DNA sequence: AGAACACGGGTAATCCATTACTCGGCGCGC
DNA sequence: GCGCGCCGAGTAATGGATTACCCGTGTTCT
């Protein structure tokens, strides 16, 4: 594996010149620079990343820690981050914390060790270990969910308002006993969606009861259990607000298991406009979140913070959009 | 940011001992090792990854380059890889080549520069630049699709047989004009699925015509166009074999657009048992591929090759399973 | 008791790219 | 014509962890 010295020898210059030429520094004679480039190409020279990062004290890499790779919402965020980062020459490494605080911490440690330039994360739990990042001066941005306590850049969706709107929509469609399946306590989006749901019930002068609310992991299996449980009650809900698209899968399975028809028997609004949401029977009414934008904005904020660590932290809130389809209509 | 020297000073030992203690080398007095560990903890010491990797000439990281992060098939592979790699202390960085040979090459370069221990990839096109990996001695494994020309470890699904079985199933269900929507020429899975489809038609003594075959990118948009195109023909197909799950979305949209009922009007078998496949109307008959297993096996092969670069390359082929649901039944 | 050896631990070389510092040579101004 | 300043390029220091090599102490065998 050739090194700068090999290139230098072949081009008949010093290693300093090789480095300057390959990094496009202007203080190199064009002729020499050309000679260096051909020498590098002939040897198939690839700079040694670790050596470069060691010297530079930072890698041109940002880590993106998402809570569920199998959720299209988060992969769309990833696309947004990637596109923006690549434009300015940063690479993105995607880490899947799988809604586990332990895995999240592990990835944060790796990011810290590898001296990445910055981190974008969607915190999986109430207690996050970003303190380490802060104390090391590594830039970071929270996406989708704020960081408890930390005064950081953050990009959110106005999910409480969206949940309120979605619930109001169910009320307007004439559903009587509207339930809610949301994520774990302490995960901000889960709490906000529940709060929005309650806001709407209150505004409609409906009594809100914990009997119609269930929490579980943000995954299909948990939502499946939650939905079965709700349906098994003496007075089951006639509509459900479902807090993310993985959960929507679980809830739909539960309805199918019980032979309950979505829309007709139980109205449904779910978060996230997954590619398949319009294809199920009946097409799902959804709260479409601007996931790609979320990622793109987060990436831009991160880059800005990497460039200037003294910027005051900003909070960006994007809006969501209710797309009414047949599942919320008798 | 503390370094080994800081820890050494605090523990009253040399940097060598610190390194040995923290890396669990047996040649350190347990008492000293303990002192080192407390010192490190008190300082919040995090080893400098680039420095370590520079010295070790390799990072405990494997790169996984997949062709589409938004496709559940590939994210399931990612889970398999992650689980296996983490068990032995490797980190996984996920790279999304987005079915683009250029992005794939870019990520390969990054992987090479960062001196990752190994690479697992699903090649996006017929010409892949793994030659660089080979010449640098970096371990790699192909997953889902073989590497043209390269004699590497590879983990595949017997996708031709699966396509044959799926098509035979459509024949057996009484469909007459069976079409096929597959991926780009040169992508092995796309070609194999088409070949399997033709195998089955031949076995059933059906005439196979290019009028019923369309190729597009492995994405929803392309499949949508392809399906509309097929349906617009004077003699449209009465059944379709669809080569992956992103495409299934596009095809279902097209059917919806045209008011054609899946199953009744047009039988459907698609590849990949996505979480939502059983939830659409009608539930999709699918070829379920062992995606998680694919990833897990690939990771194990990669680790074996990292440990011993002289092993002869192996090819592993896993079977797929046809799950008959309502979409292939009038 | 003396010698050989095992073992724990320290010193310093090493990995490779970047960059501060330095130096020679050339051009321009007085 | 002389000197100052600038430009291009080289020398060597730097970053932090690992590890080859070496040394001193304590053990064991003869």
Q: Summarize pLDDT for A264-297 with one digit per residue, the tens.
A: 899 999 999 999 999 998 899 999 999 999 999 9
Q: Do B276 and A274 touch (CB under 8 A)?
A: yes
Which CA distances in Å does B196 have to B158, B164, B168, B247? 10, 4, 10, 18
Q: How far apart are CA B139 and CA B5, in angstroms?
A: 34
| Nearest chain B Cα distance for residue A134, angstroms | 12
Cβ separation A113–B249 shorter than 8 A: no
Q: What is the pLDDT of residue A149?
A: 76
Report d(CA B25, CA B158) in Å as an integer: 45
Give how far A210 is from chain B: nearest CA, Å.
28
What is the predicted pLDDT for the residue at B263? 86
The answer to whether B29 CB is within 7 Å of strand D is no
CB under 8 Å to B41, separation ≥6 — which residues? none
Å separating the CA of residue B12 from the C1' of nucleotide C13: 22
Percent of chain B with pLDDT over 70: 100
Suggest the residue from A95, A97, A275 to mutate for an interface test with chain B (most B CBs closer than 10 A): A275
Listed in sequence order, the residues at least 6 apart from B330 whose beta carbon sits closer than 8 Å to its beta carbon are: B173, B174, B263, B264, B267
Residue B167 CA neighbour count, 13 Å, CB half? 30
Query: Touching check for B259 and chain A: CB below 8 Å?
Result: no
Q: Above pLDDT 90, what percent of chain A?
A: 85
Secondary structure letter of residue A58 according to DSSP = S
CA B275 to chain centre: 17
The answer to whether A275 and B219 are in contact (CB under 8 A) is: no
- Mean pLDDT on A37-66: 95
Beta strands in B67-157 (DSSP E): 91-96, 116-121, 139-143, 153-157
pLDDT tens sequence across A179-232: 999 999 989 999 999 999 999 999 999 988 999 999 999 999 999 999 999 999
| 10-residue averages of pLDDT along chain B (330 residues) | 94 95 93 95 95 94 93 96 94 90 90 94 82 89 89 95 98 96 95 98 93 96 97 96 96 95 93 94 95 98 93 96 93
Protein residue closest via CA to C1' of C13: B55
Half-sphere exposure of B41 (CA within 13 A, CB side): 7
* Sign of torsion over alpha carbons B128, B132, B134, B139: negative
Partner A contacted by B228 (CB < 8 A): no
Q: Helices B159-172 and B188-203 meet at what angle, rounded to 10?
A: 40
pLDDT value at position A125?
A: 79
Other C-beta atoms lying within 10 Å of the C-beta of residue B225: 16
Q: Which of A75, A132, A252 sits opposite B279 (nearest CB)?
A: A252
* CB of B242 less than 8 A from some CB of A: no
Q: Which residue of A has its CA nearest to B279?
A: A280
Which of A23, A113, A133 best tests the B interface by mutation, with the highest count of B CBs <10 A? A113
Q: Which of B127, B124, B119, B62 is nearest to B89 (CA)?
A: B62
In this complex, which residue's CA is closest to the C1' atom of nucleotide D14? Answer: A55
Is residue A330's pLDDT more than 80?
no
B253 touches strand D (CB under 7 A): no
Residues of A with Cβ-Cβ distance to B72 under 8 angstroms: 70
| pLDDT at residue A139 in the model | 94
Q: Name the token pair of A76.
A: 């769309």
**In contact, A42 and A74? CB cutoff 8 Å:** no
Q: What is the DSSP letter of B216?
A: -
């Amino acid at each position: 594996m050739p090194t700068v010295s090999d290139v230098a020898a072949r081009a008949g210059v010093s290693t300093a010149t090789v480095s300057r030429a390959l990094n496009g520094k202007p203080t190199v004679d064009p002729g020499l620079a050309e000679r260096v480039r051909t020498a590098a190409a002939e040897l198939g020279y690839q700079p040694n990343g670790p050596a470069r990062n060691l010297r530079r004290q930072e890698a041109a890499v940002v880590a993106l820690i998402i809570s569920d790779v199998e959720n299209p919402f988060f992969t769309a965020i990833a696309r947004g981050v990637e596109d923006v980062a690549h434009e300015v020459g940063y690479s993105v490494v995607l880490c899947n914390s799988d809604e586990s605080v332990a895995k999240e911490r592990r990835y944060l440690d790796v990011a810290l060790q590898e001296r990445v330039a910055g981190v974008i994360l969607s915190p999986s739990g109430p207690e996050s270990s970003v303190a380490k990042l802060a104390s090391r001066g590594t830039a970071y941005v929270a996406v989708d969910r704020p960081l408890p306590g930390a005064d950081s850049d953050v990009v959110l969706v106005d999910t409480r308002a969206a949940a309120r709107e979605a619930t109001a929509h169910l009320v307007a469609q004439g559903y009587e006993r509207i339930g809610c399946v949301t994520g774990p306590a302490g995960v901000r989006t889960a709490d906000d969606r529940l709060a929005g749901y309650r806001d709407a019930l209150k505004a409609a002068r409906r009594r809100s009861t914990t009997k119609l609310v269930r929490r579980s992991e943000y995954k299909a299996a948990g939502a499946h259990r939650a939905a079965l449980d709700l349906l098994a009650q003496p007075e089951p809900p006639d509509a459900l607000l479902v807090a993310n698209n993985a959960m929507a899968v679980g809830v739909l399975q539960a309805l199918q298991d019980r032979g309950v028809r979505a829309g007709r028997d139980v109205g449904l609004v779910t978060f996230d406009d997954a590619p398949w949401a319009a294809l199920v029977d009946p097409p799902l009414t959804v709260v479409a979140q601007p996931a790609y934008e979320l990622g793109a904005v987060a990436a831009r904020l991160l880059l800005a913070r990497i460039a200037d660590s003294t910027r005051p932290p900003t909070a960006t809130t994007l809006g969501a959009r209710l797309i009414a389809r047949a599942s919320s209509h008798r």
